[in-house]
Amino acid sequence: MAGWTSDSDDSDKFEWDNDGEAEPSSAPAMRNFDSPGPSTLGSNEWINGEVPPTSLIERYVVMGFPKEMVMKSIKEIGHSDADALLELLLTYKALDDDDAVGNNHSTSGCILPVVEDDDDPDFENCDGDDDAGGRESSSDDSGYEDFMREMSERDEKINSLVHMGFSEDEANRAITRCGVDADICVLVDSVSASRVAEDCHSRNLSDHQVTDRCFNSFGGRKKARLMEESRKKRKRYGGGGQGNRPSLDGSDEESMPLPNPMVGFNLPGYSGSSVTRMLSKLDTGPPFFYYENVARAPKGEWAKISRNLFDIQPEFVDSLHLCAAARKRGYIHNLPIENRSPLLPLPPKTIFEAFPHYKKWWPSWDTRTHLNCLQTCVASAKLTDRIQRALVSSSNPPPKSVQKDVMDECKKWNLIWVGKNKVAPLEPHEMELLLGFPRDHTRGVGKTQRYKSLGNSFQVDTVAYHLSVLRRMFPNGVRVLSLFTGIGGGEVALHKLGIHMRVVVSVEIGEASKKIFRSWWDQTQTGTLIEIDDVKSLTNDRVASFISQFGGFDLVIGGSPCNNLAGSNRHHRDGLEGKHSALFYDYVRILNFVKSTMAGRRM
């Protein structure tokens, strides 16, 4: 059985024992830029083999940092980001120069609970295939308990830091940087180093002024030391080859590691401390904006997205914590994050809660409790027939090797048990349920188009949780500019929240998606809908005319194409410079024009 191949609807072939992760033989081997080692360090141990100029090292030595410390820091994170390098040096200084350098303590203040690609090699794609290998903790009953335990630990650390006089925002950033398991002394030093670095650079101080201020800040405080020197080594932000992978355009881009678990700033029903964040007055709404894309984009792309969207921190969420299927996405928005509320009734959070009638056929050796991320295509009848024939010809229970092969395919394609030894793909209405859409939302177009449109959609419950803060702010309804509308996940979320949409200017190029959205709108809404085919045709003049006609927009929402960001696109994963994903810059262009035009009208 291990030698058989399965046939997908798009005629792709793959070996049953490859866990769904092997690339086609014609694809070039991808270099693992995320793992430290020879692939990223030159023979002299400098990242990418690039020896830093002597003048740069001397510059920091003159500032008062030991040469060994400077060289070690540059070897860890490179020298392209002066702010990050200074912060790392300051943290080492705070923790005791010689000890931190000589003993290789993992105490740089830059440790992150990163989802490592080499440990969890599934890939996210625009089609929802971020869990293709089925190796996610979603199939582990202990996943939610681990998450709650980690959140409790986080709360304790936050409370301790707040009692010391730090803000909740500083505490949260330090824990995100250093990890929940970091010692309090490490978190304190991380916050202190961040304060000094930010203050120095905000004042545009000279090198000597920076040195004086840094040493004055740390000189009078007792140097912190690790309480557990035997603690296992943690992954460092920027350590080895992780933080200095060259970006696709040839320049160095900082990495933005994903949190684990991927729970965003808070979750429905969670009673612990929530994340607090401060936005500048220029970044706050209205107009509010909400942007979404795949979480596992190429390294450096989320940092680039954030910079183009006012340097606002992304909120990474896996819908696994909100429904019965995983969907890893990143969101950047300027919405308030306090007083959120989930849609009621709460959606089913396990497979059997969503589909109890399948439990009678479910074999004991299939231990899944959640489904993986929903794709735009499903397994073929040939594959499901092969699985059935293999199980019929096997013992009961089947041998471990057969179980493994079957489970690999079940996880990859989200197959469910619909009869004895019989698996099948989810039906479109079942995908609608998992994604939070009303039943038959996509009905009226071909089945293939239904799968494609659903695979590319928002997860409605997640988006509604974030948008729920708008209910009190806009009791009379909202004016929405919807870019890359798709099948209307954002609009469905607003509707389910009870928020009236007075007007929606919808920009969507896909004919099937437009048909689905327009049909839903006509059946449920009373506001004004204006449809535009292409984001490129939405010029600044047209935006200005809409602002004049409707008095502005309250919300700009959308998720630009992720074709060149998704892990499944092995041949054209060109990031934001790719043909399709470059449309992100039209989102930025339009949003900036809306903000500036509305700001001018208020003056």
CB 126 within 8 A of CB 458: no
Residues 6+ apart with CB under 8 A from 288: 333, 334, 335, 470, 554, 555, 556
Copy the structure tokens of residue 120.
């969890």
State the angle between helix axes of 168-178 and 143-163 in degrees (0 to 180), rounded to the nearest 10.
Answer: 130
d(CA 229, CA 420): 55
Tell me if residue 502 falls in helix, strand or coil.
strand
555-558 and 288-294 strand pairing: parallel
- Token pair 């299927």 is found at 325
Single-letter code of the amino acid located at 66: P
Question: How many Cα atoms occupy the beta-carbon half-sphere of 396 within 13 Å?
Answer: 4
Tell me if 273 sits within 8 A of 346, measured CB to CB.
no
Cβ of 337: how many Cβ atoms within 10 Å?
Answer: 17
Q: How far are the Cα atoms of 4, 220, 223, 393, 405 from residue 390, in angstroms, in the given order?
A: 11, 72, 65, 5, 10
Phi/psi at 24 (5° precision): -55, 150
Choosing from 110, 126, 410, 562, the catalytic residue is: 562
What distance lies between CA 381 and its chain's CA centroid? 33
C-alpha to C-alpha distance for 381 and 424, rounded to whole angstroms: 8
**Cβ-based burial of 491 (10 A; exposed 0-12, middle 13-18, buried ≥19):** buried
Cα distances from 369 to residues 146, 158, 363, 365, 413, in angstroms, run: 15, 32, 13, 12, 15
- Alpha-carbon torsion (301, 302, 303, 305), positive or negative: positive
Question: Sign of dihedral through CA atoms 470, 471, 477, 481?
Answer: positive
Whole-number Å distance between alpha carbons of 521 and 488:
9
Joined together, the tokens standing for residue 351 give 């497979």
* 8 A C-beta contact, residue 470 and residue 478: yes
Tell me how far apart the alpha carbons of residues 47 and 242 are, in angstroms, rounded to a whole number.
10
Of 406, 413, 448, 457, the C-alpha closest to 428 is 448
**Residue pair 153/181 in contact by the 8 Å Cβ criterion:** yes
Tokens of 558: 């959308």
Q: For residues 422 and 206, what is the distance between their CA atoms, to the nearest angstrom?
A: 71
**At residue 411, what is the residue type?**
K
Q: Is residue 295 classed exposed, middle or buried when 0-12, 13-18 and 19+ CB atoms within 10 A define those classes? A: buried
DSSP for residue 328: E
Residue 562 annotated to the active site: yes
The residues near 469 (Cβ < 8 Å, ≥ 6 apart) are 335, 336, 337, 338, 339, 340
Q: How far apart are CA 122 and CA 465, in angstroms?
A: 26
Rounded Cα gap, residues 59 and 424, in angstroms? 64
Catalytic residue IDs: 562
